[in-house]
Each structure stands twice: as structure tokens, then as C-alpha cells.
């Protein structure tokens, strides 16, 4: 299989109509970043999705599985599987939601929070490598634009 850089350098593909298609460019950039992130997180037994759940469970928000699914734009069954896997590794636990006895919140354990710290360093290093060709100002601009797309109206 050709490397991504080899395919991207193919003149006929690089100059196609897709090179001006914002959705394609976002998807391609996401695929590149996701591959780098997953590779970096693999040494910690995580992938981007499980890392994302663990990061959110490590914060103060105490999200329900439904909230995780909505925020991460995943099918609820995917979140159940991710939480089950993290729980089997004793990285998160489900606790009753004090505001709704019918629901559970997902909370990181001490081991989960420690793993977030270690895996976070690997994820940030991968992100630095992926965005190495962008200046600090360009990164800031890109983050601002992506936040506007990800969280419209805020």
C-alpha cells in the first residue's frame, strides 16, 4: 500500500477537484491526525475514541454515557463498548447520577487519571508532529475555526 505522502504527491490526485473541497480536506486532515494519535496512544493501550472518553471521565463534568455519545458524535452503543472496555481495565467506573437515579455517570479512577496524564503527553507529541508545518498563529487560527464548526453558535 502506498504511503499517504506518496499518494498526496501524485499530481493528478493532488490537483483534482477535491483539493478545493472543504469537507474532503477536513476528512483527510482528520484521518492523518487520527492515525498519528492512534499510533501514539497505542503504547498506552488506547485509541483516540477510548482516550477521549477517558479524558472526559477524568474531568469534573461527570458525564452520562448519553452525554458522551452526543458530545463525541458517536452511536450510544459505541460509547457503551468503550466504557465497558475502560471499566474492565479499571480505568473508569459507572456511578449513579445523583440528579437522575435511572442514569449512571462515567468517572475515571485514580489509575484512569494517571493514564490520561501519560497518554496526554503522547497525544500532544503526535499532534505537534502532525501540525509541524503550521506556525503558532496558524494553529491558533485553525483551532478557532474548528471550534466554530464543532460548536456553532457559541
Cβ contacts of 109 within 8 Å, gap of 6 or more = 90, 91, 92, 93
**pLDDT, one tens digit for every residue, the chain (154 residues):** 345 555 566 777 877 888 889 999 999 999 999 999 999 999 999 999 999 999 999 999 999 999 999 999 999 999 999 999 999 999 999 999 988 888 899 999 999 999 999 999 999 999 999 999 999 999 999 999 999 999 998 7
Q: Residues 69, 75, 76, CA angle at the centre, nearest 5°?
A: 60
Which helix (H) or strand (E) segment is 103 a member of? strand 100-108
- The whole-chain average pLDDT of the chain stands at 92
Q: The pTM is what?
A: 0.87
**pLDDT tens, 7-26?**
566 777 877 888 889 999 99
Q: What whole-number distance in Å separates Cα of residue 48 and Cα of residue 154?
A: 25
User: Using CB atoms within 10 A of its CB, is residue 80 exposed (0-12), middle (13-18) or buried (19+)?
Assistant: middle
CA 1, 48, 13, 6 dihedral sign is: negative
Amino acid at each position: 500500500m502506498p504511503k499517504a505522502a506518496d499518494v498526496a504527491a501524485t499530481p493528478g490526485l493532488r490537483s483534482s477537484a477535491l483539493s478545493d473541497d472543504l469537507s474532503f480536506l477536513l476528512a483527510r486532515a482528520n484521518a492523518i491526525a487520527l492515525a498519528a494519535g492512534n499510533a501514539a496512544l497505542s503504547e498506552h493501550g488506547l485509541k483516540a475514541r477510548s482516550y477521549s472518553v477517558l479524558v472526559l471521565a477524568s474531568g469534573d463534568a461527570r458525564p452520562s454515557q448519553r452525554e458522551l455519545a452526543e458530545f463525541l458524535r458517536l452511536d450510544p452503543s459505541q460509547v457503551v463498548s468503550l466504557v465497558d472496555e475502560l471499566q474492565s481495565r479499571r480505568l473508569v467506573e459507572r456511578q449513579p447520577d445523583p440528579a437522575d437515579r435511572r442514569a449512571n455517570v462515567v468517572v475515571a479512577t485514580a489509575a484512569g487519571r494517571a493514564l490520561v496524564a501519560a497518554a496526554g503527553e503522547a497525544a500532544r507529541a503526535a499532534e505537534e508532529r502532525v501540525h509541524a508545518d503550521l506556525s503558532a498563529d496558524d494553529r491558533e487560527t485553525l483551532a478557532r475555526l474548528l471550534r466554530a464548526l464543532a460548536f456553532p453558535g457559541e
